[in-house]
Amino acid sequence: MIKIIILICSIVSILFALMLSAWIQRKRTIDNETIKLLYNIMRDRSSAFIKSEYIALAASAVPVILLIAVYSNWVGSVFFAAGIIFSLPIIVLGIDASNRGSLKASLKATKNDIPGALRASFRTGSIMGFLVSGFGLLFFSLIFIFFKYAFINKYVLYYAFGAVFVSLFISVSGRTYSKASNLCSDDEFIDNTGAIAGAGADFYAVFVCSIATAISLADVAVNTGGVTSTFTQLSSSIFPMVVAGMGILASIIGSLFYKGTNKKNNARDITIVNLLSGFLVIIAAAYFSNDLMQSYRYAYAVGSGIIAGVLAGIVTEQYAYDNNKFKKTYDKLSDEEGQVHLIRDFTFGSHSTIAMTIVLCTALVVAYNFANIYGVALAAVGFVSIFGTSASPEIYSSVLANLSNITEDLKYEEDVSIKIILGQAENKVSAVSRGYSQISMSLTGISALLLFTYLTDKLTIDFVTQLVMAGIFTGAMIAFFYTSVLTNSILRIANYDTAKSGNAACYDRISVSIKGLIITVLFSTVGPIAIGVLLGLNFLIGVLFGLLVVGMLLNSLIANSGRNLRNASGISLNTIINVMLIVSVTFAALLIKFEGLFTQII
């Protein structure tokens, strides 16, 4: 019965997303030529982007599918392919909704209906979140209905591999393309298509990976449940899916409370909505934790992730470059060359890593204390379960950025520019979204690393050895290497010499962004396997540990250091890190069998 409930929740999520999409499309009369032009540009460019990305993705996936079939069997290939296929409706419908949502919000803005514009933007973002939750959970619910746990546990990580493979292409390519669009002098329209698609791909990958990791750690829950526990691996594998299902229902309820009336601080409204959704999930998790797992402590682990995610959004919102107390302190300094702003922004970003680390570590300790490494995976599942509302801010901010293209001359009350109002709203919502993304990706990455140490029997690894320490420093270096690759990609795309203009130039730059993925794709997918086979598991664990820690801090620094530094790489760094982690856990058996060939020779 519980499996059917999970299936129903996934279907409800998809239907609710479609209902929101229908709301966005209704009563649409375009009598503004500027808005009509904007919409047509977004529609044409998004169509070209999706087509180009999935052609490249399909071409790259074919050899991977064949290799998986050889390494595992055709079932592993099917699960991997499913991870790619289930992403398609999310990206296609999500981008289409963002285009239409931008149109509706624009029409509201032209009528001085700021709450209506904010409400349309929020619901547009929620569409992507509910699509991610619905389609992501749909596959899990179907395989648990038709197959047994032992079969699922053997292949579920291939589904996660497929999801991160999509994220690697669409997120890294899309985000670098959109950031390059900010730097292009030959295009007055800032194209956010890649950023929106990248956000959807990242949400999908994190959602799938967090649940797949928790399922793979189900036997840890059984072994650490205590002598009085009688639950099975099936119960502990279903529990994270139940949490995700309840998160969908909670997010639907929470989304109804967003009105968009707080024009001064709409980020606070989003925080309240996610607090409500999270509170409902914790209550539901407590019930099912006691029912399925004979203890409430697993609900505490879920709650730790939810609270950490909401707090991370509050932290990053406080460090938004137009919303901090330090700005007033330095206003008296002359800054003709922008040096004061650069130093100030770097100070904010560095300072933000302290608060983000405290939030993350607290969630990690609490989750581990109550449910061991299984609890860490549950913490990640807890926050991604409310993606229906918590994923909204990133798309929301992109929709508001689209509005800035057409509201230059519009005025609001007391002759205040609508562009200023929407710009401030965009900055605050964008800041919240960065906190949500960082905490969800970090918790998912940590749980994947713990799963890898568990699968390779390295949970008690000695970090004070030469190979592990060398690996840690190598991993830290790789974080900076990837950052340089990403920033160089942004500059290369923006600087691409094309005689074309408008949409034609945009299509050329999409192709350049995809071609620039070669190094990233090869190193992210083949790199962990090559490192493990040549230098051994201890060195690889050190690499993954150093990459995860430094990558999280570096990403927090960049993301919270103002607009100029934030354009450097953004969340794409965490995307690459999670790809390397999932590749490692997926091929853990291969790495165990052939580990350290080079170290054995020397």
pLDDT tens digits, one per residue of 443-464: 999 999 999 999 888 888 888 8
* pLDDT score of 317: 82
Percentage of the chain beyond pLDDT 90 is 37
Rounded to 5°, the CA angle 304-308-311 comes to 140
Which pLDDT belongs to residue 227?
46
Q: 90 pLDDT band (50/70/90 cuts)?
A: very high
Residue-wise pLDDT tens digits, 305-317:
999 999 998 888 8
195-220 tens-digit pLDDT: 888 889 999 999 999 999 999 998 88
Residue with tokens 């969630």: 363
pLDDT in the model for residue 327: 52
3-state SS string for 238-278: HHHHHHHHHHHHHHHHHHCCCCCCCCCCHHHHHHHHHHHHH
Quote the tokens at residue 17: 């997303």
Domain definitions of the chain by residue range: 2-23+43-184+192-601
- What pLDDT sits at residue 171? 85
pLDDT in tens, 519-562: 888 888 899 999 999 998 999 999 999 999 998 888 888 877 76
Amino acid at 365: V
Band of residue 415 on the pLDDT scale cut at 50, 70, 90: very low
The answer to whether 167 and 571 have CB atoms below 8 angstroms apart is no
Residue range 296-303: average pLDDT? 93
The arithmetic mean of pLDDT across residues 150-161, rounded, is 91
Contact (Cβ atoms closer than 8 angstroms) between residue 138 and residue 448 = no
Q: What is the DSSP string of 500-515?
A: --THHHHHHHHHHHHH
User: Is the CB of residue 277 less than 8 Å from the CB of residue 389?
Assistant: yes
pTM to 2 decimal places? 0.92
- Tell me what pLDDT residue 325 has: 56
Mean per-residue pLDDT, 180-184: 70
More confident residue, 326 or 310: 310
Strand-pairing partners, residue 417, are 411
Q: Which is more confident, 520 or 466?
A: 466
CB-based contact 305:378 (threshold 8 Å): yes
Choice between 336 and 317, residue whose per-residue pLDDT is larger: 317
pLDDT of residue 249: 95
pLDDT averaged over the chain? 83
Which has more pLDDT, 600 or 547? 547
